[in-house]
Amino acid sequence: MGIQDNIPHAQSKPLEAAPEVPVSTIDVSRWWRYKNLRSMNLWMIIPLLSIFCQGFDGSMMNGLQSVSHWQSYFGTPKGATLGVFNAAYPLGGLVGVFLIAPAADRWGRRIGICLGAVITCLGAALQAGAKDIAMFTIARVFIGAGSVIVAGVGAPYITEIAYPTQRSTATALFLTFYSVGSIAAAWCTFGTFRIDGDASWRIPSALQGLPSLIQIIFIWFVPESPRWLVSKGRHEEALAMLVKYHGEGNPEDPVVKFEYQEITTTIEGEKAVAQSSFFGFLRELMTGPGNRKRTMIMIWAAICSQMSGNAFVSYYLSPILSSVGLKSDLQQTLINATSQMVSWFSAIYFATLPARLGRRTMFLWSLVFMWIVVICITAGSAEFAKDNSNKAAGYSVVVFLYLFSPAYNFGFNGNLGLYIPEILPFHLRTRGISFFYFVQFCFMILSTFAVPVGLESIQWRLYIVFVIWVVIEFAGVWVLFPETKGPSLEDVALIFDGPSKSKQMELDHDVEHQEVKDA
């Protein structure tokens, strides 16, 4: 008799409300005291590194624009040329999104991350050895493709293996590693800009592949997703994972029984409606009010994450600082490095808030904070443009550039990384995240290409566009985004689909199980 036999099969029951997670036999508030739970949480650092590369890229490109040797080697790129440099990264991302679901759903979350990490390492090697603009740009396409694969697999992976009551914090922490990557790149470029030679930009370019190399080596120590194992019919392995890491070896733990029943019921029920082809998936996204709402949320969230003014802070800090009189390599690289530290500290703290404040509340307040900050950046830049001797106006812009990242992080860092995997049912999760990244990278291309052109053409007046647009984003979030705080990962579907669809999926699963038993 296997361990699975200790867990009764899920019974059909009406789901009028999302059931609460039962009380465990272990004290999760002191999770570090339990060997297996502690081991899983520490190894979770490996998939958390999945977003590191994206943060490293934006900060590195900010830093390299302040490095004289990089500027001279590539002919001082600006305007459209600089836009192409930065847009190559999300262009690669558009290619990578089509590999997320095939790799993660067919071979598992660990192999999916490994595939993306290998591509990223290849891109970093090409970038470090670039001989000309074309080679540097192609390398950035590879890095964009690889980094979106690891990010697209890493987010649902963490959501699916985290302990239920720690899920919101663990998943929210995912995007905080974007800031960790930003800090690493910022201090790296700050440290290497003094090198008299090409090594001043080749070293940071090579280091972009280091976290991916770490993932390739250590991802095999992280437990596989029990939800993916169930989807492949490997129920014994899925239950063994839950018993070991969520029940500390106790198959009678109420949380383990609850999770296993929910996972098997939901995933087996979803198999009946899951679409295997890409076009079938797109058709399913537009079928039913619940999926249509999910689709609209993913599109609007992708737009908000890229079009709120963050592009000129993430990729074009150097020209903005130059526009307010801060032009030296030392000033720009130091501001880039220290601002990334502020961003990370805020991101870490804000990752603990979704479980208390709610997801929707944090999205809305984040947009309010960004709106205020962009207004202040616009006003300060306008005053400095009138009088270049007005140092107070220039320094005020710098202060609010420091504050922009915390304002953005409040709702669109950890909170966004939690919300998107959470609103998608298992059979749509990796493909849905692929769709989200596709839309996000489309708008990243638009913003990274348009911002340098706008800064060159209309200077500070470009910021006025974002002042107006953030108000529109706020209205969209207010109308579209429901609150998902509280329910288990499987029961978030009730918010979108209602109890009737969930009940039907359970009934379909019970009928299928009874037919197999009778046979």
For 319, residues 6+ apart whose C-beta sits below 8 A from its C-beta are 65, 78, 452, 455
Whether the per-residue pLDDT at 501 is higher than 60: the answer is: no
Q: What is the pLDDT of residue 500?
A: 53
- 40: pLDDT strictly greater than 70: yes
Model confidence at 471, in pLDDT bands (50, 70, 90)?
very high
Q: Measure the CA–CA gap between 439 and 404, rounded to whole angstroms.
A: 23
Would the pLDDT of 514 be above 50? no
pLDDT of residue 487: 76
Report the pLDDT value the prediction gives residue 475, as an integer from 0 to 100. Answer: 96
- The pLDDT > 90 percentage for the chain reads 27
Helix then strand then coil, % of the chain, to nearest 5: 80, 0, 20
Comparing CA positions, the residue from 106, 189, 120 lying closest to residue 149 is: 120
Cα(402)–Cα(371) distance, integer angstroms = 14
Q: What pLDDT is stored for residue 276 in this prediction?
A: 57
Q: What digits encode the pLDDT tens for the residues 267-317?
A: 876 665 555 566 677 788 888 888 899 999 999 999 998 888 877 676 566
The DSSP secondary-structure symbol of 129 reads T
pLDDT at 270: 64
Confidence of residue 511 (pLDDT cuts 50, 70, 90): very low
What's the rounded Cα separation, in Å, for the pair 340 and 326? Answer: 18
- Give the tens place of pLDDT for each residue, 95-108: 888 888 888 888 99
**Percent of the chain surpassing pLDDT 70:** 88
Q: Whose CA is closest to 467, among 398, 390, 404?
A: 404
pLDDT at 481: 93
Which residue is associated with the tokens 């989807």?
Answer: 231
DSSP annotation of 276 reads -
If one counts every other C-beta atom within 10 angstroms of the C-beta of residue 314, the result is: 27
Domain ranges of the chain: 31-267+280-514
Residue with tokens 């650092």: 45
Fold assignment, 31-267+280-514? Growth Hormone; Chain: A; (1.20.1250)
For range 190-197, the mean pLDDT:
82
**Mean pLDDT: which of 19-23, 30-34, 265-269 is highest?**
30-34
Q: Is the pLDDT of residue 16 over 60?
A: no
Average pLDDT over residues 489-504: 68
